Copies of this chain bind each other. A is one copy, B any other.
């Protein structure tokens, strides 16, 4: 089971180098892509699959697609979704036809969420949230799985190319609901290629990698019949939990930041975060802080400081002992507040405009 990550669970993953080797991921090389975004520049995006073909599509202005799914459960998203949207937006700005699907059939089968409820949630929150995070709805194809017959038929058709043992090898477990969800996801990822095969990229958090592997395995078998291009992937790390664990988890709400969230609450969480500070102010002034081990710095690096020079300056001031944790936390909380307020404003606007979006219909 060494190769198994449970994409539905919340197991911690320790060693990204090791994971890359085990999953057969290639290293993300920043020089391949023009104008890399913040998380690409900062090694938050760290790996992928068949990235060359996407880089070539961008360079040669050839058609390709970028795709991601929304799981319409709850009324919050997490910072990992934000990273995904930022990568989607990057490819969108570099020519990708972008697809956003609402995984309502998956939510129905794996979580018992009724389709009507899923639709309400997606329209009232998830899709507006993705737009608030930077997705351009005018350049995006939206659909609900339940309303896309090609996806549904694809799920039935492609299921015959997968064995139960493969499910087990990829997911560690296989129950009927998960199998339905997974074959539907395979069909989602291949859907943009049904009319015309083309390269495509799926930006994911590393915990979603099993879906990519399964889809690529199936696609290899479908290639001769359909001419599909193997879908590429771009993989980002977790945003670590404020208590120092590798992944934010709802089970520890004090160390978990959701979107949207009350800015005041978030401030308290940041003030309590684990940092790379020393045991005493004196020692920190003498030895300097350790931003590499600091959850607050990670938040700045991954999410809150766009400008590289500004981030480098914070890093330097921390290392030199000039920027102490209290001050830094206050600054971070302030930036987070700004981000949350900006997100809320944009979310409000996107909610108002939701009727302008059209969806693929059965």
Contact = CB atoms under 8 A, between A and B. Distances in A.
A203 to B, nearest CB: 26
Contacts of A179: 159, 176, 179-180
Interface stretch (A62-70, A145-153, A266-274, A348-356): A145-153
A175 B153 contact: no
Contacts of A115: 153
Interface residues of A, number: 27
Given A176-B179, A180-B183, A183-B180, A153 B163 contact: no
Secondary structure at chain A's binding surface: helix, strand, loop or mixed? Answer: helix
A174 interface: yes
A155 interface: yes
A180 B164 contact: no
Nearest to A152: B152
Contact of A159 (B159, B164, B180): B180
Contacts of A152: 146, 152
A105 interface: yes
Contacts of A149: 146, 362
Contacts of A176: 159-160, 162-164, 167, 179, 183
A109 interface: yes
A174 B164 contact: yes
A12 interface: no
Contact of A156 (B109, B160, B163, B175): B109
A93 interface: no
A109 B179 CA distance: 13
A177 interface: yes
A276 B28 CA distance: 77
Given A180-B180, A180-B183, A183-B180, A105 B156 contact: yes
Contacts of A183: 176, 180
A338 interface: no
Given A176-B183, A183-B180, A362-B362, A153 B160 contact: no
14 contacts: A108-B153, A109-B156, A112-B157, A112-B160, A146-B152, A149-B362, A159-B177, A159-B180, A160-B176, A162-B175, A164-B174, A164-B175, A167-B176, A179-B179
Interface of A: 105, 108-110, 112, 115, 146, 149, 152-153, 155-157, 159-160, 162-164, 167, 174-177, 179-180, 183, 362
Given A160-B176, A164-B176, 19 more contacts: A105-B153, A108-B153, A109-B156, A110-B160, A115-B153, A146-B152, A152-B152, A155-B180, A159-B176, A162-B175, A162-B176, A163-B175, A164-B174, A164-B175, A176-B179, A176-B183, A179-B180, A180-B180, A362-B362
Q: Which A-B residue pairs are the 7 nearest by beta carbons?
A: A109-B156, A159-B176, A160-B177, A159-B177, A108-B156, A105-B156, A162-B176
